Structure 1
């Protein structure tokens, strides 16, 4: 069971200022407000009507923020059972269960099944002490995961610099906040 609960808030859109519980788990790092504000300013033209994938959802704050700002659909993938249940609860509180689905499973298992439709926006913020980012980048580059001109957000330790990405991806923006490096890529098949 969780040691204690924390709170994150939605910073823009339909659910602006709503506070939601998140579990206190080792390695669970909700994206800070300042970084989210920058990210969602970058994504503003792409969110209305978008299909979104929050692959290592954790708190789900990136996917929930996207839904609040007009995304049509979001798949949130979370391995931790407690975090997945809390994501379901937060979707219910925000009345977003008709626009999102929580997949309680490992990200790699989720990526083994091709998507029913490609995604317009993908959030990749895996646990830092893992090789999951490289595996996820390779997996979503194929099998119809990305719509033309999709946007892919990557968060990782700033000391590592930008990740190596597949051909056809263009680094559009980047920033640093403390020990966090964040990058926005465009997919151009």
Structure 2
């Protein structure tokens, strides 16, 4: 696994051993970022089910100012911290080890420009989390919410003020891309 582009482009990252996480492949990562940018002029990102932290670190490499990377798995947190050290991005990241139910209330004062949701495929929490983010005004007006799910999962076209503008299947995964729309 590597950072695809930006200031850390081509730098290798560690991934979690075993099958506890599914690191987002370089091809999928590149497609996602090409679709939403591909580069940022600042902003804050939330990677709620961080795994290795690869998506958040890619966003920082491409110009995002700051990223909150969360995971409840202790081994994942260790890998995330190691990857942050590899790229010397300690000042631009916060790592939180907790379940998303505990993390979200702690971040209520943040406003995210990019949110990446890649929970274990058996968890169907995308709508719940997107509604929570909107109800608590945690998204910027130009925010993107990207969801990675099992390829068989269908998510609504619209969730609150978020509207799906793109959906694509990559093998066993499906990427759902949402952007805010005005009422």
Give the TM-score of the pair, scaled to structure 1. 0.89
Paired positions, count? 182
**RMSD of Structure 2 on Structure 1 (CA):** 1.7
Q: Does 1:92 align with 2:85?
A: yes
Alignment of 1:7-86 (within 5 A): 8-44=1-37, 47-86=40-79
Whether the aligned pair in 2 keeps the contact of 1:141 and 1:166 (CA below 8 Å) is no
Distance in 2 separating the partners of 1:61 and 1:36: 9
Whether the aligned pair in 2 keeps the contact of 1:15 and 1:68 (CA below 8 Å) is yes
Which sections of structure 2, spanning at least 5 residues, go unmatched? none
Offset at residue 26 of structure 1 (A): 3.0
Q: Does 1:144 align with 2:137?
A: yes
Distance in 1 separating the partners of 2:15 and 2:107: 29
Q: Does 1:181 align with 2:174?
A: yes
1:62–1:116 Cα change, 3 Å: same
Distance in 2 separating the partners of 1:162 and 1:131: 10
From 145, 151, 159, the equivalent of 1:166 is: 159
Which secondary structure does the structure 2 equivalent of 1:181 belong to? strand
Give the TM-score of the pair, scaled to structure 2. 0.92
